[in-house]
A and B are shown apart, each in its own frame.
Chain A
Amino acid sequence: MIADEPTMARLMIASQKGDKQAYTVLLTEVQLWLERYYRRRCAPAMLDDLVQDVLLAVHNKRASWDPVRPFLPWLAAIARYRWVDHLRKVYRNAEDALEDYDAPEDSEEEAVMARLSLERMFVQIPDKQSEAIGLVKIEGLSIAEAAERSGQSQSAVKVNIHRGLKKLAALVEKAE
């Protein structure tokens, strides 16, 4: 079970003060949290690199968390920022299959997760843009294959990826 918000916040406060033991526990919990967070929206082969990239970002930017604010929305903002960067840069290997998505349970923790989730970002961009990004950047299809699968022209797929990523970058801090 992954640590809850108060536990992570407490560990982060200790980490900002230089407590290495608390920091090790925190990073381990953050790693588990990130693996679950990215599960559906990242190719499994890239998950490892993305999680490590965010762990490094958490380390380098740990001073940017204000202890009077909740920890998980801060972590989610960094995770989203790195994810959009990742979508821009990385193509998934064609043989990797997406893992099944476990529907969130109806609990307070899951409600918080849903609010912070990557899905919330995808539903705020037009369907054609999320489809083009999903096919090319997450499933790893070529532009031509994505065009054939989606029924969009190749130019439209390129334009929709470009515009979609731009919109996603602007949605990193949006909660609704």
Chain B
Amino acid sequence: MNPERNRRANSLIERLSDDLEPVRAIRTRDGIALVALAVVVTILLVEFTEGLWLAGLTGSASPFFYLGNGLLLVLGAAAAIGVLAMASPRVGNRHEGPKWAMAMAAVLPLAALVTLFSQPGGIAAYHDPYGMHCLTAAVLSSVLVAGALVTWLRRGAPVSVNTAGLLVGVASTALGSAAYGLSCPLDGMLHIGFWHAAPVAIGALVGRFALPPLLRW
């Protein structure tokens, strides 16, 4: 290194050392606690605004209610943990888990589609007047979790920002939809498979294309 470069580098190192303050290292378990808190507050807000569906909580709903919300919860958890890990980058990190969880959860709308085609009248006969309300409410229910995950990533150093954006969208809408789903008494395959899963597809698109500018550093 020539003397001029050496002087500049030493000056920068001196300045950075002078600026040094103790920091608390990022720990995934702190992130999990933050996301869990956001989910709990979301559920409380759902209870306050829509009211939780007691029949569902006491085991009287159809199996689709538990299957659908369970798949969304697992997908949301897998994607959220993937996001939390991305805040601490390293060569060798793999983000395969959330991809498999997304493939698993895709069974939900696919099963709804197969069910729809097998019904008399097919798509033409399908009408769900409550679908749009559930879709909107589930998307709104994802805001707190999305905020928590974006805050976490901005504190960290994500280096795969497109994937991080996608996973924030998937995690927040899957957890938001599962939280809102606790209030929805429509427990049929078609309603849950379409209208409670659709927010995740919307979240994935918004996360992949709108969030990366917020996550770059």
Contact = CB atoms under 8 A, between A and B. Distances in A.
Contacts, number: 120
Nearest to A66: B88
B21 interface: yes
Nearest to B156: A64
A80 to B, nearest CB: 7
Interface stretch (A13-21, A127-135, A146-154): A13-21
A36 to B, nearest CB: 12
Given A28-B13, A51-B9, A52-B9, A74 B23 contact: no
A169 interface: yes
A96 interface: no
A6 interface: no
B20 A175 contact: no
A80 B22 contact: no
B25 A67 contact: yes
A73 B8 CA distance: 26
How many residues of B sit at the interface, in one of the four size bands?
A: 35 or more
A69 B159 contact: no
B1 interface: yes
Contacts of A69: 88, 90
A74 B20 contact: no
A31 B12 CA distance: 11
Interface residues of A, number: 44
A66 B89 contact: no
Interface in B28-45: 28
B217 A173 contact: no
Given A73-B91, A77-B89, A175-B91, A63 B162 contact: no
B90 A70 contact: yes
A122 interface: no
Interface in A22-50: 23-24, 27-28, 31, 35, 48
A162 interface: no
Interface of B: 1, 5, 8-9, 12-14, 16-28, 87-95, 155-157, 159-160, 162-163, 217
28 contacts: A15-B20, A31-B13, A48-B5, A48-B8, A48-B9, A51-B9, A55-B13, A57-B217, A59-B20, A60-B217, A63-B24, A63-B155, A64-B156, A65-B88, A66-B88, A67-B25, A69-B90, A73-B92, A74-B88, A77-B91, A78-B89, A78-B159, A80-B159, A81-B89, A81-B157, A115-B91, A173-B90, A173-B93
Interface of A: 15-20, 23-24, 27-28, 31, 35, 48, 51-52, 55-57, 59-67, 69-70, 73-74, 76-78, 80-81, 115-116, 169-170, 172-175
Given A24-B17, A55-B13, A170-B160, 18 more contacts: A16-B22, A18-B21, A57-B157, A61-B157, A64-B26, A65-B88, A66-B88, A67-B25, A69-B88, A70-B90, A74-B88, A77-B91, A77-B93, A172-B159, A173-B90, A173-B92, A173-B160, A175-B91
